[in-house]
Structure 1
Amino acid sequence: MKKVKLIFVAFILVACFINKIQAQVQGAESYRPQFHFSPKKGWMNDPNGMIFLNGKYHLFFQHNPNATTWGPMHWGHAISTDLVNWQEQKIALYPDSLGTIFSGSAVIDKNNTAGFGKNALVAVFTHHDHKVEESKSGLPAQHQSLAYSMDEGKTWTKYSGNPVLRSPGLQAFRDPKVMWYEADKQWIMTLATGGSATFYASKDLKSWNKVGEFGVGFGSPEGTWECPDLFSLPVNGGQKWVLLSSLSSGAPNGGSGTQYFVGQFDGNTFTPDHKDVRWIDYGTDNYAGITWSNTGERKIFIGWMNNWTYANVIPEQGWRGAATIARDLNLKQVGNEFYLTSLPVKELNGMTGKTNVIKNIQVKGDYDLSAKIAAFNGKFQLELATVVDESFSLQLGNRKGEMLIIGYDKANNNFYMDRSKSGLVSIPNNFAKNIIAPRIAKGSPVSLKLLLDASSAELFADEGLTVMTNTFFNSEPFNQLYIKTNKPVTIQKLKYSGIKN
């Protein structure tokens, strides 16, 4: 009997130990998103080198595998067949004698223009020489280089003639985004060059000539341009060109963000249709995003879900940094102008559980949806459409009293996301605040799509005309949800579902 008691006590102690370890592991992973990419360990910032090849989406990213703060940059690598579930691969590109590996892009050289082999996967990236930078010699530290792979990105060979494009004397000369420009049968590189984007052309990916520049006098006057992207989109039976440019500072809600321009490109010159500053995302946590190569007319965008004002000091749990949800980009006409829209990729619909629909909800005061979303454990998708454009809010909360408030303000014609009471808000540089985005759509009904994933909220309003991405750090999942109004509001349709991963 004594032996049985000892075994029972031992069993209890082991069970307690296992529960303690599980709790620690759970705590260590409490902020990790479930249907967004994040590295297993270490630091992540800019997505780069994204390419679609043989049914697989390749996501490369700026990566410091040895620390959870920005440091010697490598190209990390992940693969997905559906843009939602990602499998991290071994590191693709390591620093070398020419420097660390900054952002860039990848293309498929179908015609073997570079001589590496037919259908070679070619990465074009910035070599950054920290020794030159630290010497304060005044010499430029950033140059463009190549690497190629003949086995779908499993192994890489750096070109022996690197760098292929040396800086003309600029300190900021980085983040090449390369595309094939069919009209001139040549490659076009869009490069971040301080306060502008510069266009270079090449027949072979090795010899480059400057053909144009854009940026002076356009867009936001603040910050350094980074991670540009130039691509065309079909619209109204024709096409227009879109130029993305991330800015290190000066975003509408503070810190870093990504502006865009809609216009025309003739192989040398980009001519915008508008003078006003437009942002692909008005939230604080979408930066350095670019699109996948080799996807035809479909343009798929993904960004870094962070902000340089606090990126190195947000909570870390052995890893730090994640990507936004992948998004389909399109153009939509509003009045006489064209605006960029972004919505979660259609593949996400295949990851949702049962979709629940409620129609014609009359809300005056509070409407409690907590029982309907509690089981999702803070990871779900919600969509709603109103009948008229009256003010309302969605209040997400938990039993600790933490809350995230998302809403539409009719008087000021804007959307907002208030994270001032969302959990850990003592993060420096004005993290705890109400984040505001303008309403671009015209007309009465308001539509929202909200993605919530552990520690991030992505809001797509009016079919993606206004977008906000923000992170937060609550101590337990938001399993309470109320729709709140001051005046009666009719919700024409509300849909919600959990997301499986």
Structure 2
Amino acid sequence: MTAATATTAETFRPALHFAARNTWLNDPNGLIFHSGVYHLYYQNNPLGNVWGNMSWGHATSTDLLTWTEHPVAIACDENEDIFSGSIVFDRENTSGFGTGSVAPLVAIYTSAFKPGSGHDGVQAQSLAYSLDGGYSWTKHTDNPVLSRGSAEFRDPKVIRYDGDAGSYWVMVAVEATDFQVVLYKSQDLRNWELLSTFGPANATGGVWECPDLFPLPVDGDPENLMWVLTINLNPGGPNNGSAGQYFVGDFDGITFTSATTVTEGQQDPDRLGDYQWLDWGRDYYAAVSFSDAPHNRRLMIAWMNNWEYANHIPTTPWRSPMSLAREISLRSSDGNLCLVQQPAGDWSALAGQESYCLSETTIHEGVLVLAGAAGTVQRIDVSFTPGSAEVFGLILRGDGAKGTRVGILPGEGKLFVDRRESGQTDFHGSFPSIDTAPVHPTDMAYSLTIFVDRCSVEVFAQGGQVTMTELIFPTGTSTDLSVYAVGGTATIHSLQVTQFA
């Protein structure tokens, strides 16, 4: 690798997002808060920067903003690849893996068995345990603990259920190609009994993966709890490729019943925009939440990439970042229940001294470069109201009129990200794109919070009711921030740019 190539590759290394030092990563796994530390495990190829040799990588953080990478936690071997899963703190040592006064962390993961393993071609659920707080792991000698003889049974998320039906562990996993969530229960994490199934429902354009199940208070009311079931799928997202959908309903300890299903059975292609999506962008996949987050917060991280072009993005030797951690809440609006997402963490701790502010400014036809607002790693908070313009918005990481456009089409009720001129786009034919999401004004205004990093844009619209996450690969000299309008005028009521590293 030449010096010029190395410089270019590190130009894209994110400042605000986790990426492995020199290897490939994908799905977040085993997210847990334990002994004051957030643990992020993830699908990792410790031997290269494309998918393969699946093992669990490991990183930790105390603030969800800065991460420390550790050695591989659970490694593949001659019998199995280590696919996605989750971790629980077995406080009561129900599994028997603890010793003395030390309760274990228990990882429940998918064994993707290899030829010659005795389970050739089967995906089944296995256990590993840690007695040192999650830094070293021992595989259970009697793995797997749950098999259906299936080649597509994977991605167990285990939670603790305490309710009218009893007190036990619940596993939520998928039969990926059947578009079906399968739920099991266990008293000891070793022996599992089938509870029920869910699906097919809503989006079924690709395999179902990486489910999650958790309760949330509606509008912050602890007396009004609903359950959220998230399901990632690939492909079949609202703007092509990988994505995550969710359902809101009830879980009685046995069965999840959705109150927000639009399409029973196979997907209706004409209703894709009616389903509830975790994120409308191209690069938010395999999202799962942390176990045991403090103060009952529901915190979620996703893989920031898309299987359509994941192995081809122009970063070397590392490849693929994670999304920002998001805090998830459930809100009622116009008779509907929707997730609201906000970036988690104290961002003021990372902010630099430089900032840029603008207020009550009319945007006229054309592009206006904002002198003094340039940067490569930024938070942008902006509030617009439409005037006569057909389109208005921002150009991020730009060079004059070229860059990544984040805009509003008020007549169509759409938010969009246009990355056709965002920098390097020719590494895969499906990467240049215009991606859209439905958005509606509040008191005639559109508000956006945008996190710009060296290779990504994360947009939180209308207080986090709509999000869009997109990778971009701009040149190092493309640092302008501009505003623009087409077909008339719009008004910026407030715009603040916070500079980071």
The answer to whether TM tops 0.5 is yes
**Superposed CA offset, 1:443-477 (max 9, x none):** 52110011110110111111111111111122224
Taking structure 1 as reference, are residues 211 and 441 closer, same or farther at Cα in structure 2, changes over 3 Å only? Answer: farther
User: Which residue in the other structure is 2:289 paired with?
Assistant: 291
Which of these residues, 99, 107, 129, is aligned with residue 148 of structure 1?
Answer: 129
- 1:380 equivalenced with 2:378 (yes/no): yes
Q: 1:264 aligns with which of 238, 250, 254?
A: 250
Cα distance in 1 between the residues matched to 2:250 and 2:230: 13
Equivalent residues of 1:109, 1:120 under 8 A apart: yes
SS across alignment from 1:27: helix
* Higher mean C-alpha deviation, range 228-237 or range 34-43: 228-237
Query: Which shows bigger deviation, 321-330 or 97-106?
Result: 97-106
Distance in 2 (CA, whole Å) between partners of 1:461 and 1:310 is 26
Contact 1:233 1:297 in 2 (8 A): no
Q: Is the contact between residue 291 and residue 299 of structure 1 (CA under 8 Å) also seen in structure 2? A: yes
Residues 124 and 397 (structure 1), Cα distance of their counterparts in 2 relative to 1, 3 Å cut:
closer
Whole-Å separation in 1 of the counterparts to 2:162 and 2:124: 26
Within the alignment, does 1:493 sit opposite 2:494 as a pair?
yes
Q: Aligned to 1:28, what secondary structure does the other structure show? A: helix
For structure 1, the residue ranges without an aligned partner over 5 or more in a row are 1-19
Q: Which amino acid aligns with 2:92?
A: N
Given residue 153 of structure 2, which amino acid in structure 1 is its aligned partner? F
What is the match of residue 173 of structure 1? 153
Shift in CA distance, 273/154, structure 1 to aligned 2, threshold 3 Å: same
- Please give the secondary structure, in 2, of the residue aligned with 1:312: helix
Is the contact between residue 418 and residue 433 of structure 1 (CA under 8 Å) also seen in structure 2? yes
The answer to whether the aligner puts 1:418 opposite 2:400 as a matched pair is no
Answer with 1 or 2: which has the greater Rg: 1
Shift of 1:211: 0.2
Pairwise CA distance, 1:412: 1.0
Normalization by structure 2: what TM-score?
A: 0.90
Alignment of 1:61-76 (within 5 A): 61-76=42-57
Provide the C-alpha distance between the structure 2 equivalents of 1:21 and 1:269, rounded to a whole number of angstroms.
56
Pick aligned residue for 1:58 from 15, 19, 39 = 39
**Could you tell me how far 1:95 is from its partner in structure 2?**
1.2
Matching residue's letter, 1:279: W
Query: 1:146/1:497 Cα in 2 relative to 1: closer, same or farther (>3 Å)?
Result: same
- Cα distance, 1:336 vs. partner? 0.3
Q: Which residue of 2 aligns with 1:106?
A: 87
| Distance in 2 between residues matched to 1:170 and 1:456, nearest whole Å | 37
Which stretch of the first structure deviates more once superposed, 478-487 or 395-404?
395-404
Q: Which of the residues 151, 169, 173 maps onto 1:187?
A: 169
Instruction: State the partner residue of 1:8.
Output: none
User: What value does the CA root-mean-square deviation take over the aligned residues?
Assistant: 2.2
Partner letter of residue 292 of structure 1? Answer: F
Q: Please give the TM-score of this superposition, normalised by the length of structure 1.
A: 0.90
- SS for the counterpart of 1:463 is helix
- SS of the residue corresponding to residue 100 of structure 1 reads strand
Q: Pick which of 96-105 and 33-42 moved more.
A: 96-105
Asked if the contact 2:79–2:116 (Cα under 8 Å) also holds between the matched residues in 1, the reply is no
Equivalent residue in structure 2 for 1:130, among 106, 114, 121: 114
Amino acid across the alignment from 1:498: Q
The one-letter code of the counterpart of 2:381 is E
Taking structure 1 as reference, are residues 399 and 359 closer, same or farther at Cα in structure 2, changes over 3 Å only? Answer: closer
Asked whether the equivalents of residues 9 and 314 of structure 2 are also in contact (C-alpha less than 8 Å), the reply is: no
Bigger shift: 272-281 or 225-234?
272-281
What amino acid sits opposite 2:215 in the alignment? S
Which residue number corresponds to residue 33 of structure 1? 14
Between stretches 386-395 and 401-410, larger displacement belongs to 386-395
Partners of 2:341 and 2:116 in 1: how far apart?
A: 40
Matched residue, 1:196: 180
1:150-165 map, 5 Å:
150-165=131-146
Of the three residues 198, 201, 207, the one matched with 1:214 is 198
* Deviation string, structure 1 residues 50-85 (Cα, Å, up to 9, x no partner): 100121110000000111110010100001111111
Whether the 8 Å CA contact 2:402–2:422 is kept in 1: the answer is yes
Partner secondary structure for residue 29 of structure 1: helix
Q: Which amino acid aligns with 1:260?
A: Y
Distance 1:487 1:257, change over 3 A: same
Amino acid corresponding to residue 235 of structure 1 in structure 2: V
Counterpart code for 1:126: T
**Do 1:440 and 1:466's aligned partners in 2 also have CA atoms closer than 8 Å?**
no
- What one-letter code is carried by the residue in structure 2 that aligns with 1:283? G
Secondary structure in structure 1 of the residue aligned to 2:75: coil
> Does the 8 Å contact 1:366/1:482 carry over to 2?
no
Report the AA paired with residue 193 of structure 1: E
Q: Distance in 1 between matches of 2:484 and 2:440?
A: 23
Deviations 1:23-58 (A, max 9, x none): 664323111111100000111110101100121110
* Identical pairs, percent: 36
Instruction: Quote how far apart the aligned CAs of 1:437 are.
Output: 1.1
Q: Equivalent residues in 2 for 1:293-372 (5 A)? A: 293-295=291-293, 296-354=295-353, 355-366=355-366, 368-372=368-372
For the structure 1 residues 477 and 329, does the alpha-carbon distance in structure 2 shift closer, same or farther, using more than 3 Å as the test? farther
The aligned residue for residue 241 of structure 1 is: 227
Asked if the contact 1:132–1:140 (Cα under 8 Å) also holds between the matched residues in 2, the reply is no
Instruction: Measure the CA separation in 2 of the matches of 1:260 and 1:302.
Output: 15
Structural mapping, 1:476-487, within 5 Å: 476-485=476-485, 486-487=487-488
AA aligned opposite 2:162: E
Q: Residues 262 and 443 from structure 1, CA distance in 2 versus in 1: closer, same or farther, beyond 3 angstroms?
A: farther
Moved more, 344-353 or 119-128: 344-353
- Measured in 2, the distance between the counterparts of 1:300 and 1:107 equals 15
Which of 395-404 and 439-448 deviates more?
395-404
| 1:428 Cα offset (Å) | 2.4
Shift of 1:363: 2.2
**Cα-to-partner distance string for 1:345-365 (whole Å, 9 max, x where unaligned):** 132332222454332222223
What's the counterpart of residue 211 of structure 2?
A: 228
Q: Could you tell me whether the CA contact under 8 Å between 2:111 and 2:124 is conserved in 1?
A: yes
Q: Partner of 1:278: helix, strand, or coil?
A: coil
Moved more, 60-69 or 394-403: 394-403
CA shift at 1:342, angstroms? 1.1
Cα distance between partner residues in 1 of 2:406 and 2:191: 50
Instruction: Check the 8 A contact 1:73/1:102 in 2, yes or no.
Output: yes
Correspondence 1:252 to 2:252: no
The structure-2 alpha-carbon separation of the partners of 1:129 and 1:256, relative to structure 1 and needing over 3 Å to count, comes to same
Contact 1:227 1:289 in 2 (8 A): yes
